[in-house]
Chains A and B, each alone.
Chain A
């Protein structure tokens, strides 16, 4: 009984520590940066030719510490990302 409680506690603890929650992120136009690139070639494939976009967000954690978070998206991933934000805007308007 106590062993299973320990197991679920550690499981939950692990999940929480895996989730870096940065609430209260501050954005201004300078704090969203983007770059569009095309990967031409690599050591594994001489002819890649895929476009990708890199986005960098300036985020602040509750203590006020500001860090840059960067991530890459392929074209379909970006399109989905864009669509999600449009949906968000629509919901925010109606609430």
Chain B
């Protein structure tokens, strides 16, 4: 299995690899090969995801909640009755307690965020196209 995990074989590679193993002396039988192939097919994605999670040791975004409030009182008159989004982000590292970030976004700040997120999406699309 070590080899399978380390290289994250796709199904064609797997078939070739298992066939080679059955032909080897002291290797696996074709029945065993079939079982391994079935297991890998069913669990490959979950296993890959689990391996990915093991390599993420910086803060990840675990969860995000938000609501929109209407500011009814303010030091500045022009801020009365302005809608504002309150966003709570749960950040955390593997196996450590989460940190909760509470941020306030008015319309302008949400626009700025959307602009940046569009830039990211653009780059992501380019990346997956060329991959």
Binding site for B on A (CB under 8 A): 18-25, 27-29, 32, 34, 36, 38-39, 42, 44-55, 57, 59, 69-75, 77-78, 80-82, 84-86, 88-89, 91-93, 95
Residues of B within 8 Å of A22, CB to CB, are: 101-103
Inter-chain contact B120/A19, CB cutoff 8 Å? no
What's the minimum C-beta distance from B92 to chain A, rounded to whole angstroms? 9
- The answer to the question of B19 belonging to the interface, with a C-beta cut-off of 8 Å to chain A, is no
* Contacts of B83-131 to chain A: CB distance below 8 A: 83-85, 87-89, 91, 97-107, 109-117, 119-121, 123-124, 127-128
- The answer to the question of B76 belonging to the interface, with a C-beta cut-off of 8 Å to chain A, is no
| B107 nearest in chain A by CB position | A92
**Complexed CA–CA distance, A91 and B77 (Å):** 23
What's the minimum C-beta distance from B48 to chain A, rounded to whole angstroms? 8
Interface residues of B, CB < 8 Å — how many?
52
**Complexed CA–CA distance, A28 and B58 (Å):** 25
Residues of A within 8 Å of B109, CB to CB, are: 27
Q: Mark B43-60, 1 if CB is under 8 A from A, else 0.
A: 000001001101110111
